[in-house]
C-alpha cells in the first residue's frame, strides 16, 4: 500500500521537546520540514493505513490524512496558557470521517504520554441521557458490556465522572450502575509505549485495541440509533 505506515521518525519525540522549549513561530517555521517528516506525514500514513484496516475488519471507522489530523497550533483565544503549539500530535477516525460524530477512535502521540481511545466523548444531552437510561433499564446488557471489556483488559475511564448521581437516576442503588450513570463520557483507553511508535507494529497494536473495544462501539451505536428514531 502506498503511504503505508512505517513508524514515526526517530526524532519525533525530540522534536516535540524542542518545540515545547522554544514555543515560537520562528523556530517552528525553521524546523517545519522536520515536523512534517518525523510527525505529520507518518501520522497521515497511520490514519490512511488504519482506515483500510478498520474497513477490512468491519469496524465502521474511517478518516483521511487531510481531515482527520488535529493542528499542531493551539487555539489560545480564550486560554490563559498562551503557548502557541501543542506538546502532541493527534488524529480522529470516526463513522463518517469527520471530527464531529461520536463513537470514535482517537490517537495521541505526545510528550507526557502516548495513548489511543475509543470514545463517546461529551455526547450531546439527548444521547447522554439515552445512554444513562440504557444502563438503568437494561442493566444486564450494560454488565455484559463491562464484563466483555474486562475480559479483554479494558474498562471505562473515570475522567469527568460526576460526584453525584444526576437527577432522575437517584433510585439506582447498585454501585456499578450508579457509577456508570455518573459518567459524562464513555471511553476505553490503551496506553502506547513511546518506544513502540517507530515501527509498523503500532498498526497491529491499535487494530487489536479497537477490536477489543468493539463491545463499547456496538453498545453506543445501538443506543445512538434508537435515540435518533425518538
Domains and CATH numbers, the chain: 12-229 (3.30.930)
pLDDT digits (tens, 9 = 90+) for 111-134: 999 999 999 999 999 999 999 999
| Beta-bridge mates of residue 111 | none
Cα 158 from Cα 155, distance rounded (Å):
9
pLDDT tens, N- to C-terminus, the chain (230 residues): 567 999 999 999 999 999 999 999 999 999 999 999 999 999 999 999 999 999 999 999 999 999 999 999 998 888 788 899 999 999 999 999 999 999 999 999 999 999 999 999 999 999 999 999 999 999 999 999 999 999 999 999 999 999 999 999 999 999 999 999 999 999 999 999 999 999 999 999 999 999 999 999 999 999 998 766 65
| Dihedral, CA of residue 110, residue 112, residue 114 and residue 117, to nearest 10 | -100
Cα 161 from Cα 123, distance rounded (Å):
13
| Beta-bridge mates of residue 107 | 91, 116
Maximum Cα–Cα distance across the chain: 60
Q: How many residues does the chain have?
A: 230
Please report the pLDDT score of residue 135 as a whole number.
98
Which residue intervals of the chain are DSSP H helices?
12-22, 25-30, 32-35, 41-56, 125-137, 139-151, 175-181, 201-229
Instruction: Determine contact, residues 120/185, Cβ cutoff 8 Å.
Output: yes
pLDDT digits (tens, 9 = 90+) for 38-66: 999 999 999 999 999 999 999 999 999 99
Please report the pLDDT score of residue 3 as a whole number.
79
Please report the pLDDT score of residue 151 as a whole number.
97
Amino acid at each position: 500500500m502506498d503511504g503505508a505506515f512505517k513508524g514515526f521518525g526517530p526524532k519525533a519525540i525530540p522534536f516535540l521537546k524542542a518545540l515545547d522549549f522554544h514555543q515560537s513561530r520562528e523556530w517552528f517555521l525553521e524546523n517545519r520540514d522536520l515536523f512534517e517528516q518525523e510527525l505529520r506525514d507518518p501520522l497521515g500514513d497511520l490514519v490512511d493505513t488504519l482506515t483500510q484496516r478498520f474497513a477490512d475488519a468491519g469496524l465502521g471507522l474511517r478518516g483521511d490524512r487531510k481531515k482527520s489530523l488535529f493542528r499542531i497550533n493551539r487555539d489560545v483565544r480564550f486560554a490563559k496558557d498562551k503557548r502557541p503549539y501543542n506538546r502532541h500530535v493527534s488524529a480522529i477516525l470516526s463513522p463518517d470521517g469527520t471530527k464531529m460524530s461520536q463513537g470514535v477512535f482517537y490517537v495521541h502521540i505526545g510528550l507526557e504520554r502516548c495513548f489511543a481511545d475509543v470514545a463517546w466523548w461529551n455526547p450531546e444531552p439527548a444521547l447522554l441521557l439515552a445512554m444513562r437510561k440504557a444502563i438503568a433499564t437494561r442493566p444486564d446488557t450494560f454488565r455484559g458490556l463491562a464484563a466483555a471489556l474486562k475480559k479483554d483488559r479494558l474498562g471505562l475511564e473515570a475522567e469527568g465522572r460526576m460526584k453525584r448521581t444526576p437527577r432522575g437516576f437517584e433510585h439506582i442503588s447498585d454501585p456499578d450502575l450508579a457509577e456508570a450513570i455518573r459518567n459524562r463520557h464513555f471511553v476505553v483507553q490503551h496506553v502506547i509505549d513511546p518506544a513502540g511508535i517507530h515501527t509498523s507494529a503500532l498498526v497491529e497494536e491499535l487494530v487489536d485495541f479497537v477490536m477489543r473495544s468493539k463491545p463499547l462501539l456496538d453498545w453506543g451505536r445501538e443506543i445512538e440509533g434508537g435515540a435518533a428514531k425518538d
